[in-house]
Amino acid sequence: MYIREAHALDGAMPNDRPDSPIVEEPVTAEERKDVAKRCAGALDMSPMTMLIDDMKDSTCQAYAAFPDRLYLVGKDGKVAFAGARGPMGFNPDDLEDGIREALGMEPIKRASSERGFDRDRRGLGGRGGDRRGFGGRGGDRGGRGGDRGGSGGDGDGL
């Protein structure tokens, strides 16, 4: 689910890291969709379907997903895994373990140093990126995606 950008250029906590995309807060659903498309392309997420939160940020609020959070939805449509809130709780290794568990497989044994913190504290997650920008208003500056998801069909998809 593409949610509101945590570090939009015009937001409360803009990101000035050189490896981060330049994005502005989108004002319309179309701008948010454009940002999400650019994000999916920049992160090479083409094999996955990306859903887009509505402009009221309904899903983000319902799932306490801001600034980022990993969830796994099972075949039955129920949450099978809920990661800790990011950025400290954004840990793809934990999601992988959740996927393995949902498939009836054993989790991968990892040294605590591989996680950054012990399992209870969760490791630091990393997201690649560049300064291409992910859409939004004004040229190639990026807009930011919705932070609250659309439950019950309120969201959109790519």
Strands 23-24 and 142-143 turn out to be parallel
Peptide bond into 14 cis (omega under 30): no
Calpha distance 35→82 (Å, rounded): 25
The C-alpha torsion from 148 through 5 and 88 to 85, rounded to 10°, is 0
pLDDT in tens, 22-57: 888 888 999 999 988 988 888 888 888 889 999 999
Tokens 């439950």, residue located: 151
- Structure-model confidence comparison of residues 134 and 19, the more confident one: 19
Calpha distance 57→4 (Å, rounded): 8
Calpha distance 22→45 (Å, rounded): 19
DSSP codes joined into one string, 2-59: B---TT-TTSSS----TTSPPEE--SSHHHHHHHHHHHHHHTT-TTS--EE--TT-HH
pLDDT in tens, 119-156: 443 333 333 333 333 333 333 323 333 333 333 344 56
Mean pLDDT of the chain, nearest integer? 75
- Closest among 38, 98, 43, 88 to 68, alpha carbons compared: 88
